[in-house]
């Protein structure tokens, strides 16, 4: 028998699923967060899954809510806490990158600050209550409203070898080809998964979808991946499809906008490019070139901003190298 699964004021008995809302006042703003507690009938690992850290990324939200509905607790070994919309204020606002009350990117604020602004306090609440609540953590993303991407998974390593090994096993099980491994030395960047790894929780970032839409095949990539991880850790029955063969990639080369203007990329996601290759330019509204860009590395374009409007400091694209 599994133990009672308790999460703040919600609980689920062994072999049952509870769904409900957690409502918190954060700097005078109401945050109403949906959650599923799936408590297996047999003991096993506790897996935490979040989606919607960025409010405009939709396939992950749909994948998470379907997992909450569909995972059968009577067949589950272990427990799941699933949060299908972890940044509900941004979801309601259909916001790109940022959370409206203070304009901060939630996924740069972890582990958060209990005395900070709205987004910093919400990051702190999520970090304390959700992100570090389990034995393993998966944060699903989906390319923001102005981003196109090739699906990928990413982990951050730390000096905790056991956690690194578990995270890599999760990444390899997920069934998405492109796997990025960020060696943990240096700043963690305030992301969900890096802060979890820093706290000793094996954590996996997964990305599929983009451009403010959601498609069934992207929802399936994300929810099938979670099921493959569950099966790799003996939590649940295997699915028929093993997914893609994993390719470990060495890291990212980033291009960023240095000026405001209109962005004209000459490449697309999935393209293989050479170091020094022309990647497009940013022009003013009259067509005068303000910034040209060439690839800093040879590799595959996994991520590309697709909006014509471009602001100084924004990412343009990311090229993953072997």
Q: How far is the CB of 151 from Zn ion (least distance, A)?
A: 13
Q: How many angstroms separate the Cα of 113 from the Cα of each of 121, 123, 203? A: 5, 7, 21
Dihedral angle computed from the Cα positions of residues 241, 161, 157 and 59, in that order, rounded to the nearest 10 degrees: 30
Assign 283 to helix, strand or coil. strand
Q: State how far the Cα of 261 lies from the Cα of 17, in Å rounded to an integer.
A: 49
Q: How far is the CB of 53 from Zn ion (least distance, A)?
A: 6
Q: How far is the CB of 110 from Zn ion (least distance, A)?
A: 13
Q: How far is the CB of 226 from Zn ion (least distance, A)?
A: 16
Instruction: Give 120 or 193: the residue with its C-beta nearer to Zn ion.
Output: 193
**Helix 161-174 crosses helix 216-232 at what angle (to 10 degrees)?**
130
DSSP codes of every residue in 99-129: BTTTTB-GGGSTT--TTS-HHHHHHHHHIII
Instruction: Give 141 or 182: the residue with its C-beta nearer to Zn ion.
Output: 141
Q: State how far the Cα of 159 lies from the Cα of 48, in Å rounded to an integer.
A: 22
Q: How far is the CB of 275 from Zn ion (least distance, A)?
A: 27
Q: How far is the CB of 36 from Zn ion (least distance, A)?
A: 21
Instruction: Give 59 or 78: the residue with its C-beta nearer to Zn ion.
Output: 59
Q: Which two tokens stand for residue 283?
A: 């022009």
**What are the start-end ranges of the H helices in the chain?**
58-70, 88-93, 118-126, 161-174, 192-198, 216-232
Provide the β-strand partners of residue 147: 305
Q: How far is the CB of 57 from Zn ion (least distance, A)?
A: 5
Instruction: Give 194 or 283: the residue with its C-beta nearer to Zn ion.
Output: 194
Assign 258 to helix, strand or coil. coil
Q: State how far the Cα of 14 lies from the Cα of 16, in Å rounded to an integer.
A: 6
Instruction: Give 54 or 228: the residue with its C-beta nearer to Zn ion.
Output: 54
CB of 107 within 8 A of CB of 191? yes
Per CB under 5 A, residues contacting Zn ion are 54, 57, 141
Instruction: Give 147 or 300: the residue with its C-beta nearer to Zn ion.
Output: 147
Instruction: Give 104 or 273: the residue with its C-beta nearer to Zn ion.
Output: 104
Which residues, 6 or more positions from 196, have their beta carbon under 8 angstroms from its beta carbon?
A: 131, 132, 137, 139, 202, 203
Q: State how far the Cα of 180 lies from the Cα of 189, in Å rounded to an integer.
A: 15
Instruction: Give 141 or 228: the residue with its C-beta nearer to Zn ion.
Output: 141
CB of 62 within 8 A of CB of 217? no
Q: How far is the CB of 263 from Zn ion (least distance, A)?
A: 19
């Amino acid at each position: 028998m599994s133990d009672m699964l308790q999460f703040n004021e919600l609980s689920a008995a062994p072999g049952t699923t509870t769904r409900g809302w957690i409502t918190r006042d954060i700097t005078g703003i109401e945050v109403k967060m949906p959650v599923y507690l799936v408590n297996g009938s047999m003991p096993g690992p506790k897996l935490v899954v979040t989606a919607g850290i960025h409010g405009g990324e939709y396939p992950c939200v749909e994948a998470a809510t379907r997992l909450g509905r569909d995972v059968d607790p009577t067949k589950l070994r272990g427990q799941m806490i699933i949060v299908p919309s972890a940044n509900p204020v941004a979801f309601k606002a259909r916001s790109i990158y940022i959370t409206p009350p203070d304009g901060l990117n939630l996924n740069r604020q972890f582990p958060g600050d209990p005395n900070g602004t709205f987004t910093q306090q919400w990051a702190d609440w999520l970090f304390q209550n959700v992100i570090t609540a389990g034995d393993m953590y998966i944060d699903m993303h989906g390319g923001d409203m102005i981003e196109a991407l090739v699906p990928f998974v990413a982990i951050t390593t730390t000096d905790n070898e056991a956690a690194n090994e578990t995270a890599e096993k999760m990444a390899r099980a997920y069934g998405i080809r492109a796997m990025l491994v960020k060696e943990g030395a240096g700043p963690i960047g305030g992301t969900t998964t890096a802060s979890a790894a820093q706290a000793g929780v094996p954590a996996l970032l997964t990305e599929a979808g983009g451009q403010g839409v959601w498609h069934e095949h992207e929802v399936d990539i994300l929810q099938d991946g979670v099921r493959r991880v569950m099966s790799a850790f003996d939590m649940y029955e295997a699915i028929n499809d093993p997914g893609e063969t994993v390719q470990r990639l060495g890291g990212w080369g980033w291009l960023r906008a240095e000026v405001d203007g209109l962005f004209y990329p000459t490449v697309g996601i999935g393209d293989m490019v050479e170091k020094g290759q022309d990647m497009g330019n940013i022009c003013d509204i009259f067509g005068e070139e303000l910034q040209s860009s060439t690839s800093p590395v040879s590799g595959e374009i996994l991520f590309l901003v697709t909006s014509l409007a471009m602001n100084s400091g924004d990412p343009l694209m990311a090229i993953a190298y072997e």
